[in-house]
Structure 1
Amino acid sequence: MSREVRVAVFRPGDERIDEAIELLDSLGATPVPDPMLAIEPTGTAPRIDADFTLLTSKTGVELADRAGWEPGDSTVCAIGERTARALREAGYAVDLVPEEFSSRGLVSALRGEIDGRRVEVARSDHGSRVLTDGLNAAGAYVHETVLYELVRPPGSGESAERAAAGELEGALFTSSLTVEHFLDAAAERGVREEAIAGLADAVVGAIGEPTRETAEREGIEVDLVPETASFEELACAVVESAAPSYRD
């Protein structure tokens, strides 16, 4: 007989949290939705004079489109298939998607093409330095436009209390910022150390090495990092790992 597998998910409180809940339901897990990211647009748009323009999220694409951005002759690059799909749905051509859906993958795909070229990076205010540092090291002239800021929603933190009480079997961290906001919410509720201890008894998954490094630096042991940086793979791996431990 199976026991309940309760999995905390921290995606923004829009269609992404709805999709996450649906996926976890389909896997037989009990979702514990606790959005740790809220989006505040800055009202800016990507520059139009770059040789290469890099978009790193579906949200960034939607905001660029809303601002009326036109890429002109720029080579448009998407960090992964989700971003590429959003670009195509908005009517933009996509010239490059790296094999590895990450900042490192994007730098690797562009290395050798961007020396001396102008590269526009349009993303959130919490984008990884791995991307911009890598582009600079490859000889590019890099400009970054902040399309939106990521903040912690008021009232977040139910998952931290559940972790502190030993009521989570899994947790899905999708960025370094979700880790930081989870811990901020836990501290706000006075359960930071208890929440970290509670996660030690759960299966903790992280998308990508930067997220894992952030979590482990803060004392959260990460059990799984999927080979592909996709939420679906993360969720499937965590639920599959957590479920056998809860069978009689």
Structure 2
Amino acid sequence: MIAVFRPDDGRLEAAVKFIESLGADALGDAMLEVRPTGTAPREDGDFTILTSKTGVELANQTGWNAKGTICAVGEGTASRLRDFEYPVHRIPDEFSSAGLVEELAADVDGARVEVARSDHGSPVLTDGLEAAGAYVHETILYELVRPEDAGSSAEAAAAGELSGAIFTSSLMVQNFLDAAEKRGLRSEALAGLNDAVVGVIGEPTKSTAEGLGIAVDVVPEKADFETLARAVIAASAN
């Protein structure tokens, strides 16, 4: 059984269906709940950075009028911007906060940079841009919280029922262990997870998982869910 932890806003159901379409059993256990703040990105920035498809969708709902140089953390975010007919001017080669800093550092000295994202955004982005001379303003578009009923995957891990697990953010990893802790199963769930194939998106998520005692088996070069899911399922079948 492959555990997946995406928010229960259509993405979890889609993830479960995708895993099942590949011939594997899936356990959907939402570890994140998106709570919009209703706040729009500022429109007076020389640069505006969006770091997720969710952020783009929520910005669009506020009637945000994109101005200046619009930057996306990766192709998924860029694609969602284009879906709403927003321009996309800059995408880093490395789809991460560090990649965005590297992409923009030479051009933001003295510029106003608007960063629109969740309340769990990495300080690597804001600190790096400020170090490059930018005047950074951060708008929180949404909060990410752990649903109260999350944890069925931790119980399955503790029972040795998982063959794989798919984490797409550091916060998902932390929330999984917090849900296990709430049930008094942290050590058992951790052991069960380490007997399974663990796949993550990106080096930051890998670093978080390993720092919490989770052995990471799969980090795909292409940072998207479907690529990660295929890799985890293939590895768990061996």
Q: Same fold (TM over 0.5)?
A: yes
Residue 187, structure 1, aligned to residue 181, structure 2: yes
Output aligned runs, 1:222-233, within 5 Å: 222-233=216-227
Q: Which residue of 1 aligns with 2:71?
A: 77
Output aligned runs, 1:129-168, within 5 Å: 129-168=123-162
1:123, CA displacement in angstroms? 0.2
Counterparts of 1:18 and 1:115, CA distance in 2:
43
1:174, CA displacement in angstroms? 0.7
Counterparts of 2:174 and 2:2, CA distance in 1:
18
1:141, CA displacement in angstroms? 1.2
DSSP 3-state at the match of 1:177: helix
Residue 109, structure 1, aligned to residue 71, structure 2: no
Residue 92, structure 1, aligned to residue 86, structure 2: yes
1:175, CA displacement in angstroms? 0.6
Q: Which residue of 1 aligns with 2:236?
A: 242
DSSP 3-state at the match of 2:58: helix
Q: Which residue of 2 aligns with 1:25?
A: 20
Q: Which residue of 2 aligns with 1:178?
A: 172
Q: Report the number of matched residues.
A: 238
TM-score by length of 1: 0.93
Counterparts of 2:130 and 2:223, CA distance in 1:
24
Runs ≥4 in structure 1, deviation > 2 angstroms?
none
Which region of structure 1 is more displaced relative to structure 2, 155-164 or 15-24? Answer: 15-24
Counterparts of 2:10 and 2:175, CA distance in 1:
20
- Sequence identity, in percent? 64
Residue 127, structure 1, aligned to residue 115, structure 2: no
Counterparts of 2:109 and 2:155, CA distance in 1:
49
Pick one of 176, 196, 201 that aligns with 1:202.
196
Q: Which residue of 2 aligns with 1:50?
A: 45
What is the one-letter code of the residue matched to 1:30? D
What is the one-letter code of the residue matched to 1:240? A
Which region of structure 1 is more displaced relative to structure 2, 36-45 or 99-108? Answer: 99-108
What is the one-letter code of the residue matched to 2:228? L
Q: Which residue of 1 aligns with 2:210?
A: 216
1:70, CA displacement in angstroms? 0.8
1:6-63 residue CA offsets vs partner (Å, 9 max, x unmatched): 1100011122112211221122111110010001111111111100000011111111
Q: Which residue of 2 aligns with 1:35?
A: 30
DSSP 3-state at the match of 1:40: strand
Q: Which residue of 1 aligns with 2:5?
A: 10
Which region of structure 1 is more displaced relative to structure 2, 125-134 or 151-160? Answer: 125-134
TM-score by length of 2: 0.97
1:124-165 residue CA offsets vs partner (Å, 9 max, x unmatched): 000112211221222211111000000011211000000000
Alpha carbon RMSD of aligned pairs, Å? 1.1
Q: Which residue of 2 aligns with 1:3?
A: none
1:188, CA displacement in angstroms? 0.9
Unaligned runs of 5+ in 1: 1-5
Counterparts of 1:22 and 1:103, CA distance in 2:
30
1:85, CA displacement in angstroms? 1.4
